[in-house]
Amino acid sequence: MRNIVRIILVVLALFVAFVQTRPNTYRVERSARIGAPSEAVFAQINDFHNWPAWSPWDKLDPAMKTTFAGPASGVGALYSWTGNSKVGEGSMKITGSAPGSQVVIDLEFLKPFKDSSITTFSLAREGDGTRVSWAVEGRMNFIAKAMCVFTSMDKMMGGDFERGLTALKAVAESAPAAGTPAAADATAPAAPAGTIAK
């Protein structure tokens, strides 16, 4: 019995030592070409009120409660959510916004675990469309390192990014062209900040 315990302790010690050698940071990135002007794509990303139409996570919990605060869009805009075990609880805040080219977001998870990361959307003209890159980077604590011995952040998040970019492509490409009456209505001021139960 003692030998078995010793073996288990040795295996655990080796596992812990191996986990500690894993990378301290992670980065996941996906990109897609969208057949729409960068301004149209930027408008969908820079305003959290537009995210339910293309975000891969909004569809995981139809009853999710969301709160908007701060400016309607751009730097300072804040989006918080509370939902089921699939979406957890957290918030996003836009910390960088360059019209037509980039949106930077601070992402904070509270549940099912605490974590923080930086999300960056980069837009660049490509032919008559826009190349959109969606990246997230953050630090790996011990639990995350241990989990990634058996999987990876890329496997866990990459598919969501791909689905989100596919949906963003559909939304941006179907948006009214600039200068049309429908486009003018789409750029009207957003509803006041508050809590919305979807």
pLDDT digits (tens, 9 = 90+) for 49-84: 999 999 988 888 888 899 999 999 999 999 999 999
- Higher model confidence: residue 154 or residue 125? 125
Domain locations along the chain? 26-197
pLDDT value of position 33: 96
Under DSSP, is residue 43 helix (H, G, I), strand (E, B) or coil? Answer: helix
In the structure, how many helices (H) and strands (E) does the chain have? 5, 8
Give the model's confidence band at 178: pLDDT under 50 very low, under 70 low, under 90 confident, else very high.
low
Examine the pLDDT at 179 and tell me if it is beyond 50.
no
* pLDDT for the residue 15: 64
- For residue 112, whether the previous peptide bond is cis, meaning omega lies within 30 degrees of 0, is yes
**C-beta atoms surrounding 129 within 10 Å:** 19
Count of Cβ atoms closer than 10 Å to residue 137 Cβ: 14
Domain 26-197: top CATH class:
alpha beta
Q: What is the radius of gyration, based on Cα positions, of the chain?
A: 20
